[in-house]
Homo-oligomer: A and B are copies of this chain.
Amino acid sequence: MIRVPTEPAGRLSDAWRLCVGTGRAELALRRDHQDSLALLQREIGFRYIRGHGLLSDGMGVHRPYTWQGARHVHHSFTYVDQVVDAYLERGIRPFLELGFMPEGLASGRQTVFWWRGNVTPPRETNEWTALVRATLTHLVDRYGADEVRTWPIEVWNEPDLPGFWENADEAAYHRLYEATAHAVKEVDAGLQVGGPAVSPGADGWLERFAEFAERRDVPVDFVSRHAYTSGRAQHVPFGVHQTLAPAGDLLDQFAAPHRELKGTRLAGLPVHITEFNSSYRPDNPVHDTAFHAAYLAPVVTAGGDHADSFSYWTFSDVFEETGVPTAPFHGGFGLLTHRQIKKPTYHLYAFMARMGQERLAHGGDHLVTRHADGRVTVLAWAPVDPSGLTPGPERHALRLSVPVGTRPAGEVFVRRSTVDEEHGNAYAAWRHMGSPRSPEPAQLDVLREAAEPSRGHRRLPVEDGRVDLALTLARHEVTLVELTPLEDETPPWWDERRLLGRETP
């Protein structure tokens, strides 16, 4: 039995909910996206949202035209306003990513993704910085400087990959960063700019980014990188399979910037892991499973020890990087499928959102917290084999001695919510249904219902101010146990045995 201390070891950081990812910017105009975001914010409550394509042509910002024989550029914010308004209405702020390149400003034709984001440098740096300045000036005008100063501004995405930045040209990225960062600060010195938003494999990029920033005296307010643990993609039609490294590798990646930047001018800056997940593929079925929630539980609970944020990539399957999905479960990144069916990993986050602010205990299979009002919350998870070669153990036992307030005796109300291979698992229900590609509305209702965790409730006795909590977890289970000290208000005249059908002792 693990004895949970009475005194907290510290606060549970909010890093896990600081940011979440989304597909390209204009997808936020979709109803499904907005409804999903509303649900997410109601039940989880992320602080920021980050996605690609703010400056791509789908957003219609950069608009060259000819007038009286000369070329001009108009900056238009019709969709930018609609997207940002939609975010703010749902209580989430943009984590701005400046990219990709508008066609009318691009120096080349290389694109990324099914939706063709242009990934070449600007043909004219001045026109790019004018675009950046106009965009930020507009945002400051519309939303106020105090507000926009809280929105991190990241320059480009994964410039170390040739698919995302032509030739992965590091010097060109440094030039882009320098021009962009100065343009941002010209608008308002209080705006926060950062980068380099590199992928997990970007050897030495952070160190060289620090050296460049120092050498050229370029503003950097935060540093960012991404983290994934998947191996080589084995393709099947409309999907891939991959092996995964152990989840601890993610924590290692989260911690890397602090390690790598030690001693540089960038040491001590906020570190944002602006994307993370197991697989970097939006068509890997692992994302849909209970295994995935149990695999990520140690990462989500501990990530805040290593970075200032780590942004789950992405909150919804409304995404489209590899095209339109061909089935409701297709291995998308989303915590939610199209039409808002919750995946097990959604619940890992929803459970985290119910944890208290005081961290009482944290182990390899559990996290215990306390709320200001005395409620104690336990998140526990079953161990997994990340290689996937073997399933996790069929049963996993955990026993905690939990301190619950100052009164030595009494009882607590215990509510347990569970996600595993059978519960809170719409993917499993969908497989039982025959994997329908176009579910009927009635089937969608069944799936949404199957996606809810199983719930149980009971009372447990308090002895010496503690509850003896014995938990048995099923395979790949993630479970939330909430203990609330109770006052029994049963009136003196009540005799439960007089209820019809009650057992009489």
Residues of B within 8 A of A496 (CB): 431
Sample of 9 more A-B contacts, CB < 8 Å, known A79-B324, A238-B491: A58-B324, A74-B326, A78-B338, A82-B339, A413-B432, A414-B432, A431-B496, A433-B484, A434-B489
Q: CB within 8 A of A486: which of B76, B433, B437, B486?
A: B433
Contact with B along A374-392 (1 / 0, CB 8 A): 0000000000111111111
- In the assembled complex, how far is the CB of residue A502 from the closest CB belonging to chain B, in whole angstroms? 6
| Known A31-B34, A326-B60; contact A432-B449, beta-carbon cutoff 8 A | no
**How far is the CB of A79 from the nearest CB of chain B, in Å?**
6
Q: How far is the CA of A32 from the CA of B29 in the complex (A)?
A: 7
Q: Give Cα distance in the complex from A499 to B499, angstroms.
A: 50
The CA of A490 and the CA of B29, in the complex, are separated in Å by 27
In the bound complex, residues from chain B placing their C-beta under 8 Å from that of A81 are 438
With A60-B323, A488-B434, A489-B436: A66-B450 Cβ-Cβ less than 8 Å: no
Residues of B within 8 A of A66 (CB): 237
A489 to B329, CA, bound (A): 12
A468 within 8 A of B: no
Are B501 and A326 interface neighbours, CB within 8 A? no
Quick check: A77 and B487 within 8 Å, CB to CB? Answer: no
* Distance, CA A59 to CA B63, complexed state (A): 26
Copies in the complex: 4
Q: Are B60 and A324 in contact (CB under 8 A)?
A: yes
Q: In the docked arrangement, what's the CA distance between A236 and B66, Å?
A: 9
| Cβ contact within 8 Å between B413 and A59 | no
Instruction: Please choose the segment from A14-22, A44-52, A105-113, A285-293 that sits at the chain B interface, where 4 or more of its residues have CB less than 8 A away.
Output: A285-293
A300 CA to B267 CA in the complex, in Å?
A: 60
Interface check A216, CB cutoff 8 A: no
Closest-CB distance, A503 to chain B (whole angstroms): 5
Top 7 closest pairs, chain A to chain B, by CB:
A60-B324, A388-B500, A291-B501, A434-B486, A31-B31, A76-B326, A65-B237
Cβ of A501 and Cβ of B391 under 8 Å apart?
A: yes
Q: Contact at B499–A59, with CB atoms within 8 Å?
A: no
**A498 at interface by CB-CB < 8 Å:** yes
Determine if A85 is an interface residue (Cβ-Cβ < 8 Å): yes
Chain A residues 150 to 192 lying within 8 A of chain B, measured CB to CB, are: none
Inter-chain contacts of A493 with B (CB < 8 A): 67, 236-237
Q: Across the interface, which residues of B come within 8 angstroms of A454, CB to CB?
A: 454
Given A237-B67, A238-B63, A449-B455, A500-B433 contact (CB < 8 Å): no
Check B237–A499 contact: CB distance below 8 A: no
Q: Does A126 belong to the interface (CB within 8 Å)?
A: no
A142 within 8 A of B: yes
Contact yes or no, A492 B338, CB < 8 A? no
* A461-498 to B contact mask, C-beta < 8 Å, 1/0: 00000000000000110000000101111111110101
